[in-house]
Structure 1
Amino acid sequence: MCCPAYVFELNSFLLLLMVCAIQANCVDMSKKDKRTTRRWRTKSVSKDAKIQLQVPLSASMSPIRLHASNPNLYADVEFQNPPSHVTDALEFASDYTKLQEEFCLLAQKVHSLLKSAYNTIAIEKEKMKQMVSEQDYGIQNTQIARLRQSLSQALNHNSELRSRLNRIHSESVISDQVVSVNIIASPDEVSNEGRLSMSESVSEFFDAQEVLLSASSSENEASDDESYISDVSDNISEDNTSVADNVSRQILNGELLGGVFRTGRRTSLPAPSPDTSNINLWNILRNNIGKDLSKVSMPVELNEPLNTLQHLCEELEYSELLDKAAETDDPHERMALIAAFAVSGYAATYYRAGSKPFNPVLGETYECIREDKGFRFFSEQVSHHPPISACHCESKNFVFWQDVRWKNKFWGKSMEILPFGTVNVTLPKYGDCYVWNKVTTCIHNILSGRRWIEHYGEITIRNTKNSVSTCKMTFIKGNYWSSNVNEIHGVVMDQEGKVVHRLFGKWHDALYCGDAPAAKCIWRPGSMPTNYELYYGFTRFAIELNDLDPVMKEFLPKTDARFRPDQRLLEEGNVDAASAEKQRIEELQRTRRKYLEDNHIDYTPKYFRKVVDTHNKETWVSNDTYWELRKDPGFSKVELPTLW
């Protein structure tokens, strides 16, 4: 095995050629010797022919053999005293013959040895070929066995998922009715009991090749377009669309909803997004390059019918990840799920590069109660310049809060959104408190071409109560045509800095944990609704955020974003009226701000308070009054500012 087989073959071939050459030389020399001897004899005879010696052989003398190659050739005469030249010739012939015989004998021995060596090499070559063939066959058999095992596991899991989804669908009750109930309960009784979440009904963390944790809220609700349900068994990546069971619709909370539980949510917007092709952005932005665009009034057509406070709630679309983390004992797996939740908050922006949210006015609020997800959420605009939005969400499994401040910068062809502040999640069961930052967002091709959105930077997730696990997620900066656009990479590390889990994927597509190709999907976004391109690129969850049920009106504060007229008019497709209302509200906002400045009044948010964290940074947290005021005396009896 030291040398390749072809080296042995080449050496054998060369040795064979040498042997053949030696044998040919022996034969040639033998022939020459015969010819030389005959010529010598012929000349001798011809020379002495004239003498014609007739010397009788004596009985005591033997005939002289003149050449070893011809034993029958004897001299006819006997010299008593042969000539000197004849004696020399005979001695030369005798020595030459001996040398020739010895050389031929040696050549035969060498040939025999080389032939034996060649045969041995040929045998070894065949053995090596057989060994290599058997080794390759063994490796192939091992690989085939592993692939068959993986395929079998995948097929079994696929069959299990289909059976679960079919069972869920068979038990589903899809209805768009409003059911009145008379149940009185406290806000603390909002729970997930009886709710079959996607993360629980479809998968377990790390128990299959693809673990789907992507139950969009809207996908748990009724839909006018139910064609997607028939594709559940054929396309598992979109199976969340059919999750809506009868038990989850029995979770009623009369206190929070004023005795009314609404089972159906809208599945489409009232009107498509307006045409913006006639808007010359360059004329608007050319004098504001490098400036903070939050202070620049933009045409209402460039807005989407949601505001920033509602965007904060949209980050909870995949709150099932937090529910799953609250049930996972392994701290590193919990961290991986928290990282998946942090990434999922960016997924909804993928189709939203064409418009911007409304800027909330100072004191504006938003409330969202999701019985199907088991959480209640509220947010408030606590500062206008600089713009700061704060929110708070709670459920039996987690508490989520954040305050976000940002700056917009226009750079000619693109616009950057630079966020500040932190996101916080606590899991009461384990006493964990996770804190992380947000990355930079950039919208490309503002003035011309197809707009597209990009997120880049690094997210660091820390557990401030327990340093057992940390996580770093990197959003890779690329370009529209690069292969790594939207890619993310991350690691979950233990307290010694050793990598425990590797995370990778794309923030708009999926997140995987492990090493390819054996990595497992721990999150995937839900499917988009029909004709989403015509409706601002909204997800099913986003479509529901600005929906205002008539029964809810008496329980919401008048500062809630759903009462904002310019946003509501834009959603309904009345662009001209929305533009007029937007200008009126902005002017009213400027008047209020001037009044506060002239009277040296510091604005105090109603539902949040400012605190200083351990790093000497200011942050906004709930003052625990929102739900109390909602319950008693009710917002209709609370003094609130007029915002529009």
Structure 2
Amino acid sequence: MDPPAAWWEAELPAPERRTALPHAKLKLPSAQETWNIVKHMVSSNSMDVPIPVHMCMPIDELQRRAEEMEYSELLDKAAEEAKGSTERLLLVAAFALSAFQSARPMRASLPIMGETVEVVLPEKKMRFLTETVYLNQKSNKVINAWVAEGERWMLEGEDEPALKFRGTSLELHMNWLDRLTFFDGDAYSWKKMTTGAAVIHVVGKSSITFKGTVVVEQVGNGLSAHLAFKEGGMFCSMASRKPSKHEVLGHIEKDGVRLQRPVIRGYWDAELVAELADGSQKTLFRINPPPAEPDRVRPVTHLKAAFVQRRCNLPLFSVRLNEMTPGLEAKLPPTDVRRRWDLRALERGDYAQAAAGKEILERRWQQREREHCERTGDTSLPPRWFQLREGTDLTRPQGTTPRFRYTGGYWEARAARKWQGIEHIFAPEDASRYLL
């Protein structure tokens, strides 16, 4: 695989980015509102249960995928290690674990079919693109696909989430697959397991835990890293040095045989370390510090924005995902999530406008889907930047390679600022059918 051209040079200098969400009104859901929602979720696939916008984060599900690229520098470090080495595998495993730090017991807004999200970070020589590639209301099935590239690696992935309410908890099955390829030909794949979330706001406190083991496999040489999520008690904590619900223990296997060292220990919301064969320790991953709180002498609107930001537990990387930096709007396609006026209103705490915008966008998407089905017989609109790999069947389980592949052309269209044939899915109501 050939390395990409130095695209980041044209994007420098990197723009100055915000450090907090916009000023926001503040309205927390009442216990009665929460219970009315919860009772409708019992024994259902909760992905289709309508959630009031004031209970959603000011980002949507595609931006949640982008959050998992916060620690992409781990892949840059891995690229410097020898092909197929244990040292490289440890860093790839740390990157796989770093994706879990973005977990929060709040729901993100659901994406619209055809919606895209890009993240361009020239200072990290990393860019990322994701699109909702399959969305079928009748079968209640959604698939998101993504591709990211650094200076010496490429990451492809997809998910097919399913959410169930289990009486005392929400259980999220991500059906998540990532495949990483370094430009020296070394490849790795892994999947994300089940997430269990305590019921939000019902008992006054919400939490997230994970169940199962993440296995990061090096394709071709039998080397793999196994990260097991430990289930601790409700009141265990890192401070008490007892097993907590955030603890991770791991090891390395070669051709199915467990190696005595390295041993991997840590917490998915704090740090991960490896105890190496020579007895030394190496810190593989450490979570970035949270954004600084505003000065208490600032106006109350700043404090409200900070409160909402802390309530959502958004790291600084996520705070910037929906930001329209100077000059960016002219580069973005009409499908980019930054053009969603409902999320923009949600950031400001304008819940009435956010709810109205969400309803309009969903109704518009449903109309587009019906028209497409009447014309073609296909129950889902086709994606623009991804397509099914030849011979792929969506009714079959995922393998080790994503079913959707990036077809190219997005970054070239962005550079030329030409988006011919791309629908304005977030345009005002009277211009919704206009094409560039």
Does the alignment pair 1:364 with 2:115?
yes
Task: Quote the offset at 1:643 in angstroms.
Answer: 4.3
Matched residue, 1:599:
375
Structure scoring higher RCO (CA < 8 A, sep ≥ 6) equals 2
State the AA in 2 paired with 1:292: N
Give the AA of the match of 2:359: Q
**1:610 corresponds to:** 388
Distance 2:233 2:194 in 1: 15
Match of 1:529 in 2: 291
Does residue 218 of structure 2 align to residue 463 of structure 1?
yes
How far the C-alpha of 1:530 sits from its partner, in A, is: 2.3
Give the match for residue 582 of structure 1: 358
Q: Work out which of the residue numbers 223, 246, 249 in structure 2 matches 1:486.
A: 246
How do 1:122-133 residues align onto structure 2 when only pairs under 5 Å count?
Answer: none
CA distance in 2 between partners of 1:462 and 1:550 (Å): 41
Quote the offset at 1:476 in angstroms: 1.7
| DSSP 3-state at the match of 1:265 | coil
Matching residue's letter, 1:642 = I
User: Which residue in 1 is equivalent to 2:324?
Assistant: 548
Which of 433, 437, 440 is 2:194 aligned to? Answer: 440
Q: How far is the alpha carbon of 1:453 from its aligned partner?
A: 0.9
Matched residue, 2:418: 634
Give CA-to-partner distance per residue, 1:166-215, whole Å, 9 cap, x none. Answer: xxxxxxxxxxxxxxxxxxxx972136xxxxxxxxxxxxxxxxxxxxxxxx
Q: Establish whether residue 331 from structure 1 lines up as the match of residue 85 from structure 2.
A: yes
Q: State the 4+ residue runs in structure 1 displaced beyond 4 angstroms.
A: 515-518, 612-618
Contact 2:334–2:422, Cα closer than 8 Å, also in 1: no
Q: Tell me how far apart the structure 2 counterparts of residues 266 and 578 of structure 1 sit (CA, whole Å).
A: 22
1:106 corresponds to which residue? Answer: none
Q: In the alignment, what sits opposite 2:26? A: 274
Contact 1:589 1:643 in 2 (8 A): no
Match of 2:431 in 1: none
Within a 5 Å distance, the mapping from 1:106-255 to structure 2 comes to 188-190=5-7, 252-253=9-10
8 Å contact kept, 2:25–2:348: no
Question: What secondary structure is seen at the aligned counterpart in 2 of 1:551?
Answer: coil
Higher strand share: 2
| Residues 341 and 411 of structure 1, relative CA distance in 2, 3 Å threshold | same
- Greater Cα radius of gyration, structure 1 or 2: 1
Percentage identity across aligned positions?
A: 27
Bigger CA drift: 265-274 or 291-300?
A: 265-274
User: Which residue is 2:430 aligned to?
Assistant: none
Partner residue in 2 for 1:508: 269
**Residue 412 of structure 1: aligned partner:** 167
- Equivalent of 2:337, from 561, 564, 567? 561
Contact 2:270 2:287 in 1 (8 A): yes
TM-score (norm. length: structure 1): 0.57
Following TM superposition, by how much is the alpha carbon of 1:579 offset from its aligned partner in structure 2, in angstroms? Answer: 1.2
User: Counterpart of 1:241?
Assistant: none
Task: State which of 142, 159, 183 in structure 2 corresponds to 1:428.
Answer: 183
The residue identity in structure 2 corresponding to 1:608 is F
Q: TM-score, normalised to structure 2's length?
A: 0.83
Deviations, residues 117-137 of structure 1 (Å, cap 9, x unaligned): xxxxxxxxxxxxxxxxxxxxx
Instruction: Report the CA distance between 1:428 and its aligned residue.
Output: 1.1
Cα–Cα, structure 1 residues 631 and 401, in superposed 2: closer, same or farther, change >3 Å? same
Q: Against the structure 1 CA distance between its residues 264 and 550, is the aligned structure 2 distance closer, same or farther, given a 3 Å change threshold?
A: closer
Partner amino acid, structure 1, of 2:286:
R
SS in 2 for 1:326: helix
Per-residue deviation, 1:601: 4.1
CA pair 332-343 structure 1, distance change in 2 beyond 3 A: same
CA shift in 2, pair 1:437/1:510, >3 Å? same
Q: Which amino acid aligns with 2:171?
A: E
- Structure 2 unaligned segments of length 5 or more: list them: 237-241, 294-305, 393-397, 428-436
**Considering only aligned residues, what root-mean-square deviation do their CA atoms show, in Å?**
2.4
2:82 matches 1:321: no
Letter of the structure 2 residue corresponding to residue 189 of structure 1: A
CA contact (8 A) 2:130 2:144 kept: yes
Residues 1:621 and 2:394 are matched in the alignment:
no
1:281-312: CA deviations, max 9, x gaps? 22123133121112121100011111111111
Larger helix proportion of the pair:
1
The Cα shift of 1:634 comes to 1.5
1:384 is the counterpart of 2:167: no
**CA distance in structure 2 between the aligned counterparts of 1:391 and 1:273, rounded to whole angstroms:** 33
Aligned length: 388
What's the secondary structure of 1:553's corresponding residue? Answer: coil
Q: Is the Cα contact below 8 Å between 1:588 and 1:643 reproduced in 2?
A: no
